[in-house]
Amino acid sequence: MKAVKLPSGSYRCQAYAHGERRSFTAPTKKEAELLAAQWQNSKKKTPADSLTVGECITRYIDIKEHILSPTTIDGYRRAYNNSLIALSDVPVCDITAETVQRHINTLALSKSPKTIKNAYGLLVSALGVFAPELRLKCTLPKVQKKFKQLPEVETVLSAVIGSEIELPCLLALWCGMRLSEIRGAKKSDITGGVLTVCDTVVTVDGRHIEKNSTKTIESTRRLALPEHIQELISALPPEQDKLTLLTGQAIYKRFSRLLERHGLPHITFHDLRHMNASVMLALGVPDKYAMERGGWSTPSVMKAVYQHTFTAERQEIDSRIDSYFDGLLHTELHTKFSE
């Protein structure tokens, strides 16, 4: 505990004990720090002292359940069960940086750096609520940069054309939509050929959860649908409002089989969104419009609620992207029908 000098010339020192914070002011730095130390030492044990690490994490997840997204909460539970369960019975009062560092070293033998980072973040956040006076500073394994080789866009496009999942695939590859956004998209969200991406469907523990929100503020956006995709939507049964009735797992399995059948390397469905980003980069689409179309977040964009309209510049960008995919589409359709 270190005292800081106030504009008045006095010194203030803050002390933490069992989730409580107290400030002490005195004429000198030494006096302020002494008062803070005396208070901290005099504090009696509270119920929080009897908590274990596992109880802290469980309570932390519980109090966040209706604030954070279901997928985030599910990720917390997985991180706890898969990476932190060995610490679950350790009393919070016995936790030290050395204890956590040794656990991290053990995890590093079998877990990826990203997995360890997520687990450590959960642990620090939970302890920050129930033991704010505890300051952990541990070294995490470095995340290694990986390069994933994606197949050519035209080969993937050729594989999905005419398949039962052509529409979901094109919404990801052509429009850059996430799978949860595709599952939540409806005909009633389309006006004048423009889809408002505002709803999502996620699956957690086998439950399909519909949310009237997207991943981030920037993810709520409007997409001008190309003519081919509009035609696919028009071909859906009149009574069907959802653009797809398939679950995420069903789409992924069908997509994997398509790739295998066409001799293409395995990629995830989400990689279609990555390919969309690569196409925009190759076409020289300015970052502003690429982020707007894909709903990607940056510190600057996050400060403002989505409010862009389809300006002349944005329309020109959409036209360039549509022309690119239309060119590929016409080539593939011509090839298929001429065989």
SS3 41: helix
Query: Radius of gyration (Cα) for the chain, nearest Å?
Result: 26
* 234 occurs within a structural domain: yes
Strands 11-17 and 194-197: unpaired
At residue 309 the predicted structure's pLDDT band, cuts being 50, 70 and 90, is very low
The encoded tokens of residue 3 equal: 């005292």
In a shared domain, residues 72 and 191? no
In a shared domain, residues 32 and 76? no
* 13 occurs within a structural domain: yes
Q: How many CB atoms lie within 10 A of CB 142?
A: 8
Residue indicated by tokens 């992207």 = 321
In a shared domain, residues 171 and 297? yes
pLDDT of residue 38: 84
| Residue percentage of the chain with pLDDT more than 70 | 86
Query: Which region among 10-14, 125-129, 278-282, 308-312 has the lowest average model confidence (pLDDT)?
Result: 308-312
In a shared domain, residues 72 and 37? no
Contact between 209 and 203 (Cβ < 8 Å): yes
Q: Which residues contact 146 (CB under 8 A, 6 or more apart)?
A: none
| C-alpha dihedral (228, 229, 231, 236), degrees to nearest 10 | 150
pLDDT digits (tens, 9 = 90+) for 102-126: 999 999 999 999 999 999 999 999 9
The encoded tokens of residue 317 equal: 């960008």
Residue indicated by tokens 């997204």 = 69
Would the pLDDT of 303 be above 50? Answer: no
Q: How far apart are CA 206 and CA 69, in angstroms?
A: 16
Q: How far apart are CA 152 and CA 223, in angstroms?
A: 24
Contact between 175 and 276 (Cβ < 8 Å): yes
Number of independent structural domains in the chain? 3
In the chain, the amino acid numbered 20 is E
In a shared domain, residues 122 and 13? no
* 213 occurs within a structural domain: yes
Output the DSSP codes for 176-208.
Answer: ---HHHHHH-BGGGEETTEEEE--EEEEETTEE
Q: How far apart are CA 339 and CA 334, in angstroms?
A: 9
Q: How far apart are the first and last CA of the chain?
A: 78
In a shared domain, residues 332 and 213? yes
Would the pLDDT of 208 be above 90? Answer: no
Range of the domain at 23: 4-44
In a shared domain, residues 160 and 114? no
In a shared domain, residues 190 and 84? no
* 147 occurs within a structural domain: no
| C-alpha dihedral (23, 28, 30, 34), degrees to nearest 10 | -40
pLDDT of residue 300: 43
Backbone angles phi, psi at 203, to 5 degrees: -115, 125
* 148 occurs within a structural domain: no
pLDDT of residue 168: 96
In a shared domain, residues 243 and 221? yes
In a shared domain, residues 81 and 225? no
| Residue percentage of the chain with pLDDT more than 90 | 45
SS3 335: helix
In a shared domain, residues 116 and 178? no
In a shared domain, residues 38 and 173? no
CA proximity to 178, closest of 205, 224, 218, 207: 218
Backbone angles phi, psi at 209, to 5 degrees: -105, 120
Q: Which residues contact 308 (CB under 8 A, 6 or more apart)?
A: 292, 314
Supply the pTM of this predicted model. 0.65
Q: Which residues contact 326 (CB under 8 A, 6 or more apart)?
A: 226, 228
Q: How far apart are CA 105 and CA 113, in angstroms?
A: 11
Query: Which region among 28-32, 167-171, 280-284 has the lowest average model confidence (pLDDT)?
Result: 280-284
* 135 occurs within a structural domain: no
Would the pLDDT of 158 be above 60? Answer: yes
Residue indicated by tokens 């209706």 = 66
